[in-house]
């Protein structure tokens, strides 16, 4: 346990009805008694307190205080939470008052959660889940974060690590007693267990990045020839005038990004420059960026002007793939179109002007987004950090399968558990701690 008691505003900064100031460490209760002049605090009960300045005795506020004795607290240490009025001056007065006490200091970003981790209240995946929950902007993101915070990922990875440790025990037995050969059927059983584990981890990795997509947002690119109505479509999706719309071909040049919530899923939409042959250096750069955006997107809307059918721009057609929704806009301008398919994709029809077909398009888009990041029964891995460690783990298991000598094979199993341990923080954690906790705000 750390000997310094830390404090911070745990609720959002700025004027509000109620603010929460949190205190964690061995001096927490003592400070509460000194500020309130009261002696008895029943654990986990809200107590009405009159807080006074420890230097001049001036009143700070009339509020509530809760005392959570360690280890049954968020950090595992003694914790006190003050609920006070949320005016800036009140909060500042309490923060200043706490600063008067020797041994107390302001918490750093993520320090409360870091202490919770260090006191075994949560593993690293749970801490990351908590950070994600604080940052979640859509319902599905919050659900995934909550599940991770509850330990779904940590349990999965710890179970895998335990299974490897179990297998390792067999090998260490052979190494310790080299005269006694491991019976063939035991060795075969061990190898089969490793193969099974390896395929489970590989299946978990082959999840189409759904957890990461849900955490980071699905990247959607709107591409197509100039004047097709790309910016008009972005404005419909964003429900505001994000991009300039005009009948001048080549209006949009930069990539314009907008963060949206589509059916509860986070989507980062990019409107792009119309793709065509150009001599204008700025437009050429815009088109290059449009193509890069298309290549990096998880999903594309490839938009055409219905009047261009059947003479579609080849450069745009070449960007259509299985992650594309092909859409014909401006159907108000033409007689009914009935195109069977374009590069295997069945087109949708709409008019950004009259609104016809927009609802069907939104529905199709929502389905595509949901398909890519919908939560399944199994917990999904949410970060590149997890993916890297799991890939390292699989590499070690593959090497294990290729080696006959028990001493060397055992080392590969040890490396495999270490890779899993890096994710949850069980082993070799120091170097990843800073990365994980730097994501937090102060007061958490
Ligand atoms: N008739 C009709 N006009 C439309 C429709 N959608 C957009 N427009 C018009 O088409 C013109 C081009 O629209 P934009 O949204 O700027 O097209 P864009 O694809 O972003 O064009 P660039 O930025 O130049 O690549 C504007 O005058 C729009 O008002 C539609 O469904 N029907
Ligand atoms: Mg545009």
**What are the tens digits of pLDDT across the range 163-186?**
888 787 777 766 666 666 666 777
Question: Both 228 and 337 in a single domain?
Answer: yes
Question: Both 225 and 365 in a single domain?
Answer: yes
pLDDT higher than threshold 50 for residue 432: no
User: Which residue's alpha carbon is at the smallest distance from atom 2 of ligand 1?
Assistant: 330
Distance, CA of 224 to CA of 305 (rounded, Å): 9
Per-residue model confidence (pLDDT) at position 181: 62
**What are the tens digits of pLDDT across the range 343-354?**
999 999 999 999
Alpha-helix runs per DSSP H in 57-123? 88-100, 111-118
> Is there a domain that residue 120 lies in?
no
**What are the tens digits of pLDDT across the range 83-106?**
999 999 999 999 999 999 999 999
**What are the tens digits of pLDDT across the range 52-82?**
999 999 999 999 999 999 999 999 999 999 9
The pairing of beta strand 218-223 with beta strand 299-305? parallel
**What are the tens digits of pLDDT across the range 194-243?**
999 999 999 999 988 889 999 999 999 999 999 999 999 999 999 999 99
> Is there a domain that residue 313 lies in?
yes
Q: Where are the beta strands (DSSP E) in 229-367?
A: 256-262, 265-271, 299-305, 324-329, 348-349
Q: How many CB atoms lie within 10 A of CB 156?
A: 20
Q: How many CB atoms lie within 10 A of CB 247?
A: 6
> Is there a domain that residue 213 lies in?
no
State the ligand closest to the CA atom of 303: 1
Average pLDDT over residues 144-160: 91
Average pLDDT over residues 248-256: 96
Higher pLDDT, 151 or 444: 151
Tally of domains within the chain: 3
CATH of the domain at 290: 3.40.50.300
Per-residue model confidence (pLDDT) at position 171: 72
**pLDDT classification of 431: cutoffs 50, 70, 90:** very low
Domain region containing 409: 125-207+381-437
Ligand 1: nearest atom to the Cα of 234: 15
Per-residue model confidence (pLDDT) at position 405: 79
> Is there a domain that residue 159 lies in?
yes
CA 226 to ligand 1 centroid distance, Å: 8
> Is there a domain that residue 284 lies in?
yes
Q: What percent of the chain has pLDDT over 90?
A: 73
User: Which residue's alpha carbon is at the smallest distance from atom 32 of ligand 1?
Assistant: 330
Average pLDDT over residues 406-433: 77
The CA-atom distances, in angstroms, between 28 and each of 12, 98, 230, 314 are 22, 10, 58, 69
Ligand 1: nearest atom to the Cα of 235: 15
pLDDT higher than threshold 70 for residue 134: yes
CA 212 to ligand 2 centroid distance, Å: 29
When the pLDDT of each residue in the chain is averaged and rounded to a whole number, the result is 90
CA 370 to ligand 2 centroid distance, Å: 26
Question: Both 368 and 385 in a single domain?
Answer: no
**What are the tens digits of pLDDT across the range 362-381?**
999 999 999 998 877 788 88
Question: Both 325 and 425 in a single domain?
Answer: no
Ligand 1: nearest atom to the Cα of 244: 16
Ligand 1: residues with CB < 6 A are 226-232, 245-247, 249-252, 273-274, 329-330, 332-333, 351-353
Question: Both 316 and 388 in a single domain?
Answer: no
User: Which residue's alpha carbon is at the smallest distance from atom 7 of ligand 1?
Assistant: 229
Burial 272-297 (b: 16+ CB within 10 A, else e): bbbbeebeeeebeebbebbbebbeeb
CA 249 to ligand 1 centroid distance, Å: 9
CATH of the domain at 150: 1.20.120.430
Per-residue model confidence (pLDDT) at position 435: 47
CA 426 to ligand 2 centroid distance, Å: 51
User: Which residue's alpha carbon is at the smallest distance from atom 8 of ligand 1?
Assistant: 229
CATH of the domain at 53: 3.30.1360.120
**pLDDT classification of 409: cutoffs 50, 70, 90:** confident
pLDDT higher than threshold 60 for residue 116: yes
Per-residue model confidence (pLDDT) at position 246: 96
> Is there a domain that residue 431 lies in?
yes
Ligand 1: nearest atom to the Cα of 271: 20
What secondary structure does DSSP assign to 105-154, as a single string? EEPPTTHHHHHHHHTTSS-HHHHHHHHHHHH--SHHHHHHHHHHHTTHHH
**What are the tens digits of pLDDT across the range 386-395?**
999 999 999 9
Per-residue model confidence (pLDDT) at position 183: 67
Distance, CA of 439 to CA of 444 (rounded, Å): 10
Beta-sheet strand order (sheet of 265-271): 256-262, 265-271, 218-223, 299-305, 324-329, 348-349
CA 253 to ligand 1 centroid distance, Å: 14
Per-residue model confidence (pLDDT) at position 233: 97
SS3 (DSSP) at 8: strand
CA 228 to ligand 2 centroid distance, Å: 8
CA 325 to ligand 1 centroid distance, Å: 18
pLDDT higher than threshold 60 for residue 436: no
Question: Both 253 and 227 in a single domain?
Answer: yes
Question: Both 233 and 311 in a single domain?
Answer: yes
Question: Both 330 and 390 in a single domain?
Answer: no
- Most ligand 1 atoms within 8 A of CB, residue of 221, 227, 250 to mutate: 227
> Is there a domain that residue 212 lies in?
no
Ligand 1: nearest atom to the Cα of 273: 25
Domain boundary among 373, 396, 426: 373
Per-residue model confidence (pLDDT) at position 443: 67
The pairing of beta strand 348-349 with beta strand 324-329? parallel
Domain boundary among 373, 401, 429: 373
> Is there a domain that residue 112 lies in?
no
CA 384 to ligand 2 centroid distance, Å: 33
What secondary structure does DSSP assign to 245-275, as a single string? --SSTT---S-EEEEEEETTEEEEEEE-PPP
User: Which residue's alpha carbon is at the smallest distance from atom 12 of ligand 1?
Assistant: 227
Question: Both 24 and 132 in a single domain?
Answer: no
Higher pLDDT, 438 or 169: 169
User: Which residue's alpha carbon is at the smallest distance from atom 14 of ligand 1?
Assistant: 229
Question: Both 192 and 275 in a single domain?
Answer: no
Domain boundary among 46, 77, 107: 107
- Most ligand 1 atoms within 8 A of CB, residue of 237, 245, 270 to mutate: 245
pLDDT higher than threshold 60 for residue 20: yes
User: Which residue's alpha carbon is at the smallest distance from atom 11 of ligand 1?
Assistant: 247
Question: Both 99 and 145 in a single domain?
Answer: no
> Closest Cα partner for 35 from 74, 81, 4, 1?
81
Distance, CA of 157 to CA of 390 (rounded, Å): 9
Question: Both 189 and 309 in a single domain?
Answer: no
């Amino acid at each position: 346990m750390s000997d310094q008691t830390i404090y911070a505003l745990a609720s959002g900064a700025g004027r509000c009805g109620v603010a929460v100031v949190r205190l964690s460490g061995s001096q927490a209760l003592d400070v509460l008694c000194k500020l309130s002049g009261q002696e008895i605090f029943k654990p986990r009960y809200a107590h009405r307190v009159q807080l006074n300045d420890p230097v001049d005795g001036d009143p700070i506020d009339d509020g509530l205080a809760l005392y959570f004795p360690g280890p049954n607290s968020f950090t595992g240490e003694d914790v006190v939470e003050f609920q006070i009025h949320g005016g800036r001056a009140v909060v500042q007065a309490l923060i200043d008052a706490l600063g008067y006490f020797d041994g107390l200091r302001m918490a750093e970003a993520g320090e409360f959660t870091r202490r919770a981790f260090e006191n075994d209240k949560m593993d690293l995946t749970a801490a990351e889940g908590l950070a994600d929950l604080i940052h979640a902007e859509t319902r599905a993101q919050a659900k995934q974060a909550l599940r991770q915070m509850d330990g779904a990922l940590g349990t999965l990875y710890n179970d895998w690590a335990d299974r490897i440790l179990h297998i390792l025990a067999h090998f260490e037995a052979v190494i310790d007693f080299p005269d006694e050969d491991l019976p063939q059927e035991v060795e075969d059983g061990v190898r089969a267990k490793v193969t099974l584990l390896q395929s489970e981890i590989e299946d978990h990795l082959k999840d189409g990045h759904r957890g990461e997509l849900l955490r980071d947002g699905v990247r959607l690119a709107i591409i197509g020839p100039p004047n097709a109505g790309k910016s008009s479509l972005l404005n419909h999706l964003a429900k505001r005038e994000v991009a300039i719309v005009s009948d001048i071909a080549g209006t949009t040049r930069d990539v314009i990004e907008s963060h949206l919530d589509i059916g509860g899923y986070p989507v980062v939409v990019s409107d792009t420059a119309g793709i065509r042959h150009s001599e204008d250096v700025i437009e050429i750069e815009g088109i290059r960026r449009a193509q890069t955006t298309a290549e990096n997107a998880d999903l594309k809307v490839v938009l055409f002007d219905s009047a261009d059918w059947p003479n579609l721009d080849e450069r745009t057609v070449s960007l259509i793939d299985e992650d594309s929704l092909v859409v014909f806009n401006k159907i108000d301008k033409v007689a009914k179109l009935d195109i069977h398919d374009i590069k295997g994709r069945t087109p949708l029809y709409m008019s950004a002007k009259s609104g016809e077909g927009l609802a069907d398009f939104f529905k199709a888009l929502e389905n595509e987004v949901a398909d890519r990041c919908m939560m399944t029964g199994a917990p999904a891995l949410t970060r590149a950090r997890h993916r890297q460690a799991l890939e390292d783990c699989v590499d070690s298991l593959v090497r294990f399968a290729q080696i006959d000598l028990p001493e060397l094979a055992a080392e590969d199993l040890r490396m495999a558990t270490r890779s899993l341990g890096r994710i949850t923080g069980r082993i070799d954690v120091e170097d990843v701690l800073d990365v994980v906790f730097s994501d937090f705000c102060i007061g958490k």
